[in-house]
Amino acid sequence: MPMKREKIYKFDDFQRNTGLYSGNSFLAKPIRTGKRCGLSISNIQIKLTLFSILFVLQIAFGGGNLLANNPDKFKTIKFHSTRITNRYLTFKIDSVKNYNFNNRNKKRGLKPYIAPTLLISAGTALHFSTNAKENFQDWVQSNFAYSGSADDYLRYAPLAAVYSLNLFGVKGKNNFGNRTALALKSLLLNDLIVSGLKRWSDETRPNGDAHSFPSGHTSVAFAMAHFMHKEYGDLSVWYSIGAYSCATAVGVMRVAKNAHWISDVVAGAGIGILSTELVYLTHLYKWDCNHIKNFDIFPFKVGKQKGITMVYNF
């Protein structure tokens, strides 16, 4: 369908240097203002799709070398806007976008994974040491038997503390959107790991119930404790000490309550920490006002067709 082009793409030296630019312009040369252009919307979409594929492939297979050789030049890629219209609709390929290749979380090697790995390994070893864990359970029940329900609520105390501190003006590392996304993903990943291991191991609890290994209460408590450590540990070490002390109390209560073996609690602690650490490692930090503004929801009409479109600009 004939249409007018009001503005063409402009490309900087990045496209020329990386091979993403070819010819004198990205699309076929448009006829200047006031004249018809023979390009159809389908052709433009195809060309934009091909460009997107080339861009992704370039970054996936060549981006590392480009960044290594030109660290300052290629930190940001800029694309300029265009607007395409015809008699039925108008849409805009939005304005300058910045792609930042800097990783927000500084790499610390394997250091963050030492503690959870040791805990999971120790818990697994104790899981197969039947005499050791039974003797320890008998000693706990003889001296520190517990029958309350505080452990059901205390496991979420670090999570509540994080939001309470933000409410009273003590700001953590992330805003509300990213903080909430991180907490929910940590709980979800932790639950997937723990529930799978519970079904696979099918260990009997000390009180005779099923699905003992690992401890779900303890893993949640340590996942939320590590969450608080990640958010507030840089402000003061006492936030981390308080969070981990709370999680440790939950683990002790689970053993004293005769609901879990010591092996379940130790392994659960490691799984909780590991879950949160992995979530922070992979989080993209797009749950904020700036990224939410990239969502566009608008009605459209093409001929006799009507509907609602949701677009996210990357």
Do 96 and 122 share a domain, yes or no?
no
pLDDT at 291: 58
Across 40-57, b (16+ Cβ under 10 Å) vs e yields: eeeebeeeeeebeeebee
pLDDT at 292: 59
Provide the residue range defining the domain that includes 70. Answer: 4-102
Regions in the chain scoring below 50 on pLDDT: 1, 4-41, 44, 47, 51, 56-103
Do 52 and 117 share a domain, yes or no?
no
Q: Are strands 82-85 and 4-5 parallel, antiparallel or unpaired?
A: antiparallel
- Look at the block and give the residue holding tokens 């099923």: 210
Q: Residue 275 and residue 195: Cα distance in Å, rounded?
A: 13
Query: Of 102, 121, 145, which one is at a domain's C-terminal end?
Result: 102
Q: Number of folded domains in the chain?
A: 2
Do 181 and 45 share a domain, yes or no?
no
Do 98 and 121 share a domain, yes or no?
no
Do 136 and 274 share a domain, yes or no?
yes
Query: Of 102, 131, 154, which one is at a domain's C-terminal end?
Result: 102
Label each residue of 177-194 as H, E or C. HHHHHHHHHHHHHHHHHH
Do 93 and 136 share a domain, yes or no?
no
* 83: in domain: yes
225 vs 64, 108, 150, 179, CA distance in Å?
35, 20, 16, 14
Amino acid at 182: L
Helices 216-232 & 176-201, crossing angle to 10 degrees?
Answer: 150
Do 132 and 241 share a domain, yes or no?
yes
Neighbour-count burial of 199, counting CB atoms closer than 10 A to its CB (0-12 exposed, 13-18 middle, 19+ buried): exposed
Model confidence pLDDT, tens digit, residues 235-275: 999 999 999 999 999 999 999 999 999 999 999 999 999 99
* 33: in domain: yes
pTM score, two decimals?
A: 0.63
Tell me if the bond preceding 158 is cis, omega within 30° of 0. Answer: no
Do 135 and 248 share a domain, yes or no?
yes
pLDDT at 274: 97
Do 15 and 131 share a domain, yes or no?
no
Do 73 and 200 share a domain, yes or no?
no
Query: Of 77, 102, 127, which one is at a domain's C-terminal end?
Result: 102
Do 185 and 43 share a domain, yes or no?
no
* 307: in domain: no
Across 106-130, b (16+ Cβ under 10 Å) vs e yields: eeeeeebbebbeebbebbbebbeee
* 289: in domain: no
* 194: in domain: yes
pLDDT at 148: 92
* 300: in domain: no
Dig out the tokens for 175 from the structure. Answer: 């805003």
Q: How many CA atoms lie within 13 A of 2 on its CB side?
A: 5
Do 209 and 94 share a domain, yes or no?
no
